[in-house]
Amino acid sequence: MLEKEKQFLTGHEIVIKACLDAEADVMYGYPITPTCEILSGWSNIGKQYLQTEDEIAAGFAVCGAVLAGKKAFTASAGPGHILLQDAFSMAEAMRLPFVMVIGQRGGPSSGTVIYSQQEVTLACYGGNGEGYRLVYSPSNAKELYELTRQAFNDAWHYRFPAVLLTDGYLLKTKSVFNLAEITKMVNIPAHALVPEDKVVHWPNIYTLEEELNEEINETKKDFSAISEEISKAESYKTDGIEYLVIAHGIVGAVAKMAVDELREKNIKVGLFRPITLRPFSKKQLDDLFVKNNIKNVVVVESSFGQLARIVRDELAPEIDATFTYIQKPGLGIEVEEIVEFMKKLKI
Amino acid sequence: MILKILLAGDGGQGIQTIAEIICRAAFQKNWHVSYIPNYGLEQRGGVSLSFIQISDKVIGYSKFTTPDILLIMSEQARARVKNYESGIMNYDVKDYAQKLEEQKIGKSSYNIFFLGLLVKYLEEKNVLKKEEVYELLEKKLGKKLNWEENKSIFQTCTL
């Protein structure tokens, strides 16, 4: 049957479609709002899955399956995401192509069930390591599809665990999805990481401090080497600006609309929207500041500064700029709020 | 053009059913459509909201506080949406009490009654076609109890 190119789909359905097109083999998971529909949708189309007793089991099942050469993934949120960080840390230690889809919900603890941007730190730096993982933050349905595909490809190509960091608003929204607008992508195939006929000693624990230190240094080197190549950000209307708004995910989409409105009112605002949070497009951001001599930055997010901390950390220390913030943990942010804030800032 | 529609009712009143039908009909007319349901943790009895946007441009964000069309189908829902601006078009169940009684419309069909009113307005604005909505409605409810009753409510309301 010929598939219609334009469809009316939920974010969940788009993620499932992307996982199918990425040729994912198996999903392990434990249902939690707002990602239940990914597990139920994946099982409903007859794909291989296992509903485990909890997220800890789901995470280690993903580790095991990818070692055996299966493209495996999981999906979770909030408290489930916390439990997954155990196995995800092991994936970071062993450089496993672990893919997880996170639908951020409010926190701490069970918080609220649909929306926030409070799992940024957890996704980027959760676990007892250094945060050598790939974190993608889609802002719309098209990116939700493309970055899911990208996460599988990058995880298997570069051998770093990957998180698609989304939220319940994006996942639950039903919108027009046009396959014709999607950039064509070739899949990086899965392969057995341990050959069946060989015995391999592949530890996630070391006897000597030096051994571990050496291992982490290697990982850092590899991560740095690919950072510029795979980090991604959108700079929008940034020529000759006085103010730079920084936002990610769906807040990034809202900020983009706010920039359009403010530009019509002749307020010189542009947007920097990180698409990957790890690795971060550091050079692109530094260059933007230097080129435009930007002195005023507004970081907008649905959390108390989880994105702002990353931005301040990544921005070259010699760059001197004043930071202001719109921070609403657990709440959506609307175009009008950003527009009003910027108008006041201008005065 | 962008049209923001907020539907508010109690869980179980069929708010999401009519939201889905309106969105599907608008999608068939090639509009950009965005729809996000919103309800609490309750299995039933909580407030159920539908945020719908229909536009000729790509829609960037699925939530809003300034609806153009606002439907309120219960007391509880009225309290829940009090922080939202009222729309250009407001449909409030309390203003239709007499009409609902005159036409002997049962509580389980209130959603179809208001679907009819909304569709009548949206067709006048060239957003969708009532025949197409009818087809979607029949597909959804045609084999269920009270179909004949719902069918006639819809047809009367869209006249």
Q: Alpha-carbon distance A170 to A101, whole Å?
A: 12
B155 touches chain A (CB under 8 A): no
Contacts with B35 from chain A: Cβ below 8 Å? 173-175
User: Which of the 8 DSSP states describes residue B86?
Assistant: P
Closest CA–CA distance from residue A229 to any residue of chain B (Å)? 28
Does residue A323 lie within any of the structural domains?
A: yes
Residues A203 and A288 in one domain: no
Considering the domain architecture, whether residues A137 and A192 belong to the same structural domain is answered as: yes
Closest by Cβ to A173, choosing from B32, B62, B65: B62
Q: Are residues A250 and A218 in the same domain?
A: no
Summarised one tens digit per residue, pLDDT across range A280-330 is 999 999 999 999 999 999 999 999 999 999 999 999 999 999 999 999 999
Residue carrying structure tokens 């039933």: B44
Task: Show Cβ contacts of residue A157 under 8 Å, excluding neighbours closer than 6 positions.
Answer: A188
Does a structural domain hold residue A277?
yes
Residue B89 buriedness (CB in 10 A; 0-12 / 13-18 / 19+): middle
Q: In chain A, what residues touch B65 (CB-CB under 8 Å)?
A: 334
CATH number for position B79: 3.40.920.10
In chain A, how many domains are there? 2
**A174/A60 same-domain check:** yes
Q: Does B61 touch chain A (CB under 8 A)?
A: yes
Which segments of chain A does DSSP mark as H helices, in order? 11-21, 36-44, 55-67, 78-94, 120-125, 141-158, 168-172, 209-230, 249-264, 282-292, 306-314, 335-346
- Residue A97 CA, chain-centre distance (Å), reads 15
B16-67 pLDDT, tens per residue?
999 999 999 999 999 999 999 998 777 677 899 999 999 999 999 999 999 9
| Residue A146 is assigned to a structural domain of this protein | yes
Give the integer Cα–Cα distance in Å for A169 and A187: 28
B109-143 in b/e burial notation, b at 16+ Cβ within 10 A? bbbbbbbbbbbeebbeeebbebebbbbbbeeebee
Q: Which of residues 64-103 of B touch A (CB under 8 A)?
A: 64-66
Instruction: Let me know if residue A303 belongs to a domain.
Output: yes
pLDDT tens, residue by residue, A141-199: 999 999 999 999 999 999 999 999 999 999 999 999 999 999 899 999 999 998 888 89
Q: Which of residues 31-50 of B touch A (CB under 8 A)?
A: 32-38, 41
Closest-CA distance of chain B to residue A241, Å:
23
CATH number of the domain encompassing residue A208: 3.40.50.970
Cα-based torsion angle of the residue sequence A81, A39, B63, B15 in order, rounded to the nearest 10 degrees: -140
CB-closest option in B38, B60, B66 to A254 = B60
Q: How far apart are CA B115 and CA B53, in angstroms?
A: 16
Across the interface, whether the CB atoms of B23 and A174 are under 8 A apart is answered yes
Contact A169 B36 (CB under 8 A): yes
Q: Is the pLDDT of residue A347 over 80?
A: no
**B60 contacts chain A (CB < 8 A):** yes
Within chain A, how many helices (H) and strands (E) appear?
12, 14
pLDDT at residue A4, as a whole number: 74
Q: Which residue range forms the structural domain that includes residue B121?
A: 2-157
The reply to whether omega before A279 is within 30° of 0 (cis) is yes
Q: Which of A8, A169, A253 sits opposite B27 (nearest CB)?
A: A8
Question: For residue A346, what pLDDT band results from cuts at 50, 70 and 90?
Answer: confident
Report ipTM (2 d.p.). 0.93
A110 & A170 share domain: yes
For residue A289, is it within any domain? yes
Tokens of A172: 């639950």
Look at the block and give the residue holding tokens 């010189």: A268
**Contact between residue A74 and residue A110 where contact means Cβ atoms under 8 Å apart:** no
Minimal-distance CA residue of chain A relative to B50 = A173
Contact call for B33 and A172, based on CB within 8 A: no
Same domain, A184 and A287: no
- Is it true that the peptide bond before A34 is cis, omega within 30 degrees of 0? yes
Q: Are residues A224 and A237 in the same domain?
A: no
Q: Given CB atoms, is A256 within the 8 Å cutoff of chain B?
A: yes
Q: Chain B residue closest to A114 (CA)?
A: B38
- Cross-chain Cβ contact A172/B41 below 8 Å: no
A322 assigned to some structural domain? yes
The minimal CB distance from A257 to the residues B24, B27, B60 is found for B60
CATH number at residue A290: 3.40.50.920
Report the pLDDT value the prediction gives residue A3, as an integer from 0 to 100.
57
What are the backbone angles phi and psi of residue A22, rounded to the nearest 5°?
-80, -5
Q: Is some CB atom of chain A closer than 8 A to the CB atom of B62?
A: yes
Task: Pick the closest to residue A269 from A295, A307, A308, A230 (CA basis).
Answer: A295
CB B60 within 8 A of CB A257: yes
In a domain, A261, yes or no: yes
Contacts of A254 in chain B (CB under 8 A): 60-61
From A230, A253, A279, the end of a domain falls on A230
Q: What pLDDT is stored for residue A304 in this prediction? A: 98
Answer yes or no: do A84 and A195 share one domain.
yes
Residues A342 and A300 in one domain: yes
Same domain, A219 and A247: no
How many structural domains compose chain B?
1
Average pLDDT, chain A: 96
Distance separating alpha carbons of residues A104 and A166, to the nearest angstrom? 6
For B62, the closest chain A residue by CA position comes to: A173
Would you say residue A1 lies in a domain?
no
Distance of alpha carbon A38 from alpha carbon A49, whole angstroms = 11
Instruction: Give the pLDDT of residue B40.
Output: 77
Residue whose pair of structure tokens reads 């155990």 in the numeric block: A86
pLDDT of A1 reads 36
Pair A300, A247: CB distance under 8 Å = yes
Residue pair B112/B150 in contact (Cβ under 8 Å)? The answer is yes
Range of the domain at A242: 233-346
Which string of DSSP letters, residue by residue, matches A19-48?
Answer: HHHTT--EEEE---TTSHHHHHHHHHTT-E
Set of chain A residues whose Cβ sits within 8 Å of the Cβ of B60 = 140, 253-254, 256-257, 335
The predicted pLDDT at position A72 comes to: 98
**For residues B144 and B114, what is the distance between their CA atoms, to the nearest angstrom?**
19
Same domain for A222 and A251: no
